[in-house]
C-alpha cells in the first residue's frame, strides 16, 4: 500500500524582531509527517530569494520532498510580527499565494489547510486538488483560520464548510470553531442572541458527513466526534517553552497515528473505528503536540523521540 502523503498549502517566513523563522501551517504539517517517517511531498510556492532558500533548507533537513516547480522567480511570502507588552504577536502579511495544479500522483493521503486552502487564487487550486483525489485517498483539512488574509468572513465560512464536507478528517482549534460560529451567526442575521459555541460548530462539521472531526483545546487536550460518538482526551502536563506550531504538530501526529494503525483505510472504506482505536489516535496526536510545545519554535518530534519514554 502506498504510504505517500501530499500536503498542499503555503510556505512563508515569519519575521520576529528582524529575525526570519520558517513557517506556514501546511509546511509545519509536512515537516511533522516527514520527521515521523512518512514520505511527504509539499506542494507550495517559494520565491527564489534568501527567504526561499531558508525554507528549502528546512524542508530538506526534515526529509520533505518539494514538488517540481515549487521555486519561482518571485519573492517568498512573509509575515512580519509585532509583539505587544504581553508577548502577543500581531502579523502583517505579504503573501503571494498562487500555485499550479498539483500533480500528486498515487498517494495515500492528501492534506491541505489554512491560508493555502482558502485565499485566492491558490485556494481554488488547492481545494480542487483535494476534491479530485481518488476513492482510496484519505482527504484531510485543517482550517487554521487567519481571517485577516483569507477574504470576507462569509466567503471564508462557505469555503471552510464546503471543503470540510468533502474530507474524511477535519481538525480545527477551539479558536477556529469560535470564529466560524460567530461569523456564521453574523452572516445569518446580523448577530444571533444565542451564538453558536465551539462545540456546536464541531457537531455541525461532523453532521455534514465528516467521519473524523476533532477540535483541539490547547492545554485541555481535544474533543473528537467519530461515528456519532464523542471522545475527550486530556492534554499532557509539560513545561511549555512556547505554543508555536502546536496545532500543526497535533495534525501531523493525528495523520501519523491513523496511518500507523491502518485506521485511515477504515475511514476511506466507511468501516467504524472502535473507541479504543479513536482514543489511541488522539493520544498519539496529543503526545506529538506536547513534545513540540516543550521546546522553542515549531520543532516537532521524530518517531524515535515520540517512542522514547517521557
265-303 per-position pLDDT tens digit: 999 999 999 999 999 999 999 999 999 999 988 899 999
Q: For residue 1, how many other CB atoms are within 10 A of its CB?
A: 8
Whether 310 is in a domain gets the answer no
Whether 270 is in a domain gets the answer yes
CA within 13 Å, CB half, 196: 24
197-256 per-position pLDDT tens digit: 999 999 999 999 999 999 999 999 999 999 999 999 999 999 988 888 999 999 999 999
Q: Give the Cα separation of 115 and 120 in Å (integer).
A: 9
Cell of 234: 486530556
Whether 30 is in a domain gets the answer yes
Whether 23 is in a domain gets the answer yes
Whether 116 is in a domain gets the answer yes
CATH number at residue 217: 3.40.1190.20
Domain housing 115: 5-302
- In the chain, what percentage of residues exceed pLDDT 70? 94
Whether 15 is in a domain gets the answer yes
Q: For residue 293, what are the CA distances in angstroms to 23, 28, 232, 245?
A: 15, 13, 20, 8
Whether 308 is in a domain gets the answer no
99-151 per-position pLDDT tens digit: 999 988 899 999 999 999 999 999 999 999 999 999 999 999 999 999 889 99
pLDDT confidence of residue 87: 47
Burial of residue 203 (number of CB atoms within 10 Å: 0-12, 13-18, 19+): middle
Q: How many domains in the chain? A: 1
Whether 157 is in a domain gets the answer yes
Amino acid at each position: 500500500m502506498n504510504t505517500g502523503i501530499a500536503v498542499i498549502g503555503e510556505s512563508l517566513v515569519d519575521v520576529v524582531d528582524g529575525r526570519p523563522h520558517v513557517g506556514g501551517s501546511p509546511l509545519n504539517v509536512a515537516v511533522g509527517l516527514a520527521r515521523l517517517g512518512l514520505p511527504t511531498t509539499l506542494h507550495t510556492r517559494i520565491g527564489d530569494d534568501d527567504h526561499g532558500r531558508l525554507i528549502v533548507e528546512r524542508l530538506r533537513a526534515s526529509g520533505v520532498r518539494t514538488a517540481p516547480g515549487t521555486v519561482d522567480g518571485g519573492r517568498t511570502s512573509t509575515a512580519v510580527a509585532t509583539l505587544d507588552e504581553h508577548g502577543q504577536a500581531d502579523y502583517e502579511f505579504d503573501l503571494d499565494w498562487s500555485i499550479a495544479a498539483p500533480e500528486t500522483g498515487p498517494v495515500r493521503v492528501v492534506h491541505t489547510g489554512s491560508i493555502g486552502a482558502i485565499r485566492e487564487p491558490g485556494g481554488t487550486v488547492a481545494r480542487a486538488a483535494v476534491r479530485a483525489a481518488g476513492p482510496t485517498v484519505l482527504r484531510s483539512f485543517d482550517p487554521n483560520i487567519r481571517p485577516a488574509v483569507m477574504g470576507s468572513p462569509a466567503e471564508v465560512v462557505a469555503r471552510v464548510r464546503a471543503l470540510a464536507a468533502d474530507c474524511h478528517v477535519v481538525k480545527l482549534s477551539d479558536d477556529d470553531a469560535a470564529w466560524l460560529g460567530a461569523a456564521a451567526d453574523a452572516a445569518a442575521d446580523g448577530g444571533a442572541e444565542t451564538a453558536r459555541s465551539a462545540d456546536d460548530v464541531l457537531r455541525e462539521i461532523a453532521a455534514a458527513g465528516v467521519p473524523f472531526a476533532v477540535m483541539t483545546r490547547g492545554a485541555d487536550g481535544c474533543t473528537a466526534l467519530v461515528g456519532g460518538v464523542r471522545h475527550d482526551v486530556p492534554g499532557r502536563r509539560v513545561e511549555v517553552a512556547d505554543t508555536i506550531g502546536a496545532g500543526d504538530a497535533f495534525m501531523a501526529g493525528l495523520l501519523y497515528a491513523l496511518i500507523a494503525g491502518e485506521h485511515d483505510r477504515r475511514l476511506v472504506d466507511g468501516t467504524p473505528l472502535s473507541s479504543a482505536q479513536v482514543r489511541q489516535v488522539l493520544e498519539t496526536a496529543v503526545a506529538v503536540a506536547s513534545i513540540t510545545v516543550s521546546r522553542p519554535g515549531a520543532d516537532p518530534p521524530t518517531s524515535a523521540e515520540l517512542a522514547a519514554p517521557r
